Every structure is written in C-alpha cells, then in structure tokens.
C-alpha cells in the first residue's frame, strides 16, 4: 500500500517580516529555527528585559531591537506579523497595544485559564486582529498526515482516539512551574486535547483527573487521566504518566487512531529522552493488512512551527480562507481544558463555549 498524505502547510507567496514580542527560550529553540527554515525574515524583537532582547538579536542577526512594544508598533504598524511569545497571563495586556487589523500569532496557551482566553478573544474581535494561537502539534507533519488520512477515508469511520504516555519527563528543567496550581494539562496535555479536537471536533463532555506524584513532589500535577464523551460511536481517552523511571524499554508516547477500516499509530518522538527526543513516526495498517510506516517530511519540533506562521501569513495575504488555529478555535480548546479541571471536582463536566 502506498499513500500520499499532506504533511505541511503551504508557504506564503510574499511573507511579511516578523516582529518578536518576548525573547524567551521557545523563541530560540523553535520559532527562530523554524522561520529560518521557512525563509521568513525576523525584522525585530522587543522584551521588557533589554539584555535578553539584545542577546537574541545579536545571536540571530535581528536588525531591530525595540525598547518597548509601542516603539515597534510606531515603526512597523501592520507591515509585520507580531509573534507574541510571552507568559500567558500578560497576553491580554499586550494585544490592545497592537495596530487594529494586525496579523498576530500568540504562543499557547491562550491565557492562563478560560476567563483570560475569553478576554483575549474579545480584544481580538474588537480590534479586528487576524490572530491565531500557536497550538502547533496539529500542524506537525505526522498529525497533518493523520488528519488527511481520516479525511480520505483510509481508516473508515473514526472510532477510537487514544493518547498513551508513559515516559520520564525531567520536571526539574521547569522550575517556573513549581508555584503553578495547574500544571500537566495546562502546559503539556493541552497539546493532545487540541489535536483531538482538530481530528474529531468538540466532545459533549469530559471526565478527568489530574494528580501529583511523590517522584515529582514539587509539581502540582504530573499524571492525568481523561475520558472525552463523543457519544456512543467514538471513544476518546488519554492516559498520561510523566514519572516512569525504569528506562526506555516500556516507555510509550503514542496516539492510536482507529477506524472501521484501519488504524494509525503516531509516535510523539520529542517526549522520549526529553529534551533530546527521538524521531516522530506514523504507521498505517488497513484491517487484515500489514503495517506500513509513512515517511515524514519533518518533525513536531521544529517543522510544526513553520506551519502556524505560514497559515497566519497566508490568511493575512488572502491566500488562505481560514486560520486553522484561530483564536476562535483555540478558545474552544481552552474551554475543553477548563472543563477538564472542573471535572476533577465535578465529574462529567460539559464544555462552556460562551
């Protein structure tokens, strides 16, 4: 069996330069390498920590360093795409300072909780921002291919989506998470919830439990169980353990996507031996057939970060008719995350999409 599946978002014809707002680690590790690979120019950067902004500019030959966002806006207006990579709790303070109608890519999550997400959505609507949220897993080659396989009917009617992680995550790399009340779902499994939504739409409700672990005692939650209620045909669930300390042999980080006519297995390579990672994988098997590995054009990190920016650029230029991870769509992912947290106290919580 030979299959041809779409794995990437098309490039814009004439991309605008990018203005970075927030010069943190994710910009260095993922955004800038992705934009370089995609031939998208980064024109400027601003960060409250001027030394950090200047260091980033020096290391990556970024022409402009702005002391404040207002200076960047005064110089560039809507001639750039604003890439906001700041802590989620300050996003709603930044957006009002952008030009009306600007193209914007906002780092996930969309605020610290659904209430902040609602505020962000309101600001974007009020200012007419062409805004998307960087839920990039759905843009990864493996997940775009999986979505295309479902669309083309290669596995028949979708019946099962299972996310299973049994890995060791070195939580000590993330000391900023220690004071947070919401950890595992808010910063990690939110990717999987968003991707499940991208594949199957919104569930009717959710049963969830997210708990701590004495092996990562400083962090509020590092283990999660979720059952998503899609009615009596599609079964969707997540089982997440970040604290498996018995070596690689029985570690697991997979999506299993099963239908009436076949199954796909998607390996999340970045989760193994983090932050070194392994290669992503996509496997497809028709019922009664043989497993075939689908060659991937790239990986979650960094290729997915090209896709999110390309989509914003193309939508801004009129080349795309929609934003795949628009603030409107991302808000519904935030609603699902909020329902998960509420479900830990009130089982069977439904989504509040208002």
Tell me: the pLDDT tens digits for 161-172?
999 999 999 998
* pLDDT in the model for residue 350: 74
Tell me: the pLDDT tens digits for 157-197?
999 999 999 999 999 888 888 999 999 999 999 999 999 99
Please state, for a pLDDT cut of 90, what percent of the chain lies above it. Answer: 90
User: What is the spatial distance between Cα 223 and Cα 239, in angstroms, rounded to a whole number?
Assistant: 8
The residues facing 285 across adjacent strands are 263
Task: Look up the pTM and report it.
Answer: 0.94
Asked whether residue 1 carries a pLDDT value surpassing 60, the answer given is: no
Asked whether residue 19 carries a pLDDT value surpassing 80, the answer given is: yes
* pLDDT in the model for residue 133: 98
pLDDT band, very low/low/confident/very high, at 2 (cuts 50, 70, 90): low
Tell me: the pLDDT tens digits for 78-108?
999 999 999 899 999 999 999 999 999 999 9
Angle, helix 327-343 to helix 114-127, in steps of 10 degrees = 170
Contact (Cβ atoms closer than 8 angstroms) between residue 89 and residue 116: yes
User: What is the spatial distance between Cα 132 and Cα 309, in angstroms, rounded to a whole number?
Assistant: 9
Enumerate domains of the chain plus CATH numbers.
18-137+304-323 (3.40.50.720), 138-299+335-343 (3.30.360.10)
* pLDDT in the model for residue 9: 97
Tell me: the pLDDT tens digits for 235-274?
999 999 999 999 999 999 999 999 999 999 999 999 999 8
Tell me: the pLDDT tens digits for 117-148?
999 999 999 999 999 999 999 999 999 999 99
Show Cβ contacts of residue 221 under 8 Å, excluding neighbours closer than 6 positions: 182, 183, 184, 185, 210, 211, 212
Closest C-alpha among 331, 328, 266, 322 to residue 9: 322
Tell me: the pLDDT tens digits for 4-14?
999 999 999 99
């Amino acid at each position: 069996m030979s299959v041809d599946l779409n794995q990437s978002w098309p490039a814009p014809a004439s991309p605008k330069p990018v203005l970075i707002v927030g010069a943190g680690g994710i910009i260095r590790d993922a955004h800038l390498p992705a934009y370089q690979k995609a031939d998208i120019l980064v024109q400027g950067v601003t960060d409250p920590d001027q030394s950090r902004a200047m260091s980033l500019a020096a290391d990556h030959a970024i022409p402009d360093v702005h002391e404040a966002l207002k200076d960047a806006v005064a110089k560039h207006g809507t001639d750039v795409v604003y890439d906001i990579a700041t802590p989620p709790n300050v996003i709603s303070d930044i957006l009002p300072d952008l030009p009306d109608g600007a193209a914007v890519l906002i780092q996930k999550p969309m605020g610290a909780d659904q209430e902040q997400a609602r505020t962000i959505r309101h600001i974007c609507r009020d200012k007419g921002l062409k805004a998307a949220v960087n839920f990039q897993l759905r843009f990864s080659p493996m997940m775009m291919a999986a979505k295309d396989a479902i669309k083309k009917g290669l596995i028949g009617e979708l019946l099962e989506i299972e996310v299973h992680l049994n890995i060791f995550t070195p939580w000590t790399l993330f000391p900023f998470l220690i004071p947070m009340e919401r950890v595992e779902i808010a910063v990690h499994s939110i990717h999987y919830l968003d991707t499940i939504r991208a594949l199957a739409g919104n569930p009717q409700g959710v049963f969830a439990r997210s708990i701590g672990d004495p092996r990562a005692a400083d962090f509020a939650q590092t283990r999660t169980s979720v059952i998503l209620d899609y009615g009596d045909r599609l079964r969707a669930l997540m089982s997440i353990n970040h604290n498996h300390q018995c070596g690689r042999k029985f570690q697991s980080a997979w999506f299993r996507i099963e239908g009436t006519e076949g199954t796909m297995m998607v390996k999340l390579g970045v989760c193994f031996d983090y932050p070194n990672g392994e290669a992503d994988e996509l496997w497809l098997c028709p019922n009664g057939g043989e497993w075939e590995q689908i060659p991937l054009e790239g990986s979650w990190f960094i290729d997915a970060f090209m896709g999110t920016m390309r989509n914003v650029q193309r939508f801004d230029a009129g080349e795309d008719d929609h934003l795949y991870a628009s603030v409107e769509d991302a808000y519904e992912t935030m609603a699902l995350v909020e329902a998960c947290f509420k479900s830990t106290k009130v089982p069977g919580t439904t989504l509040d999409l208002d």
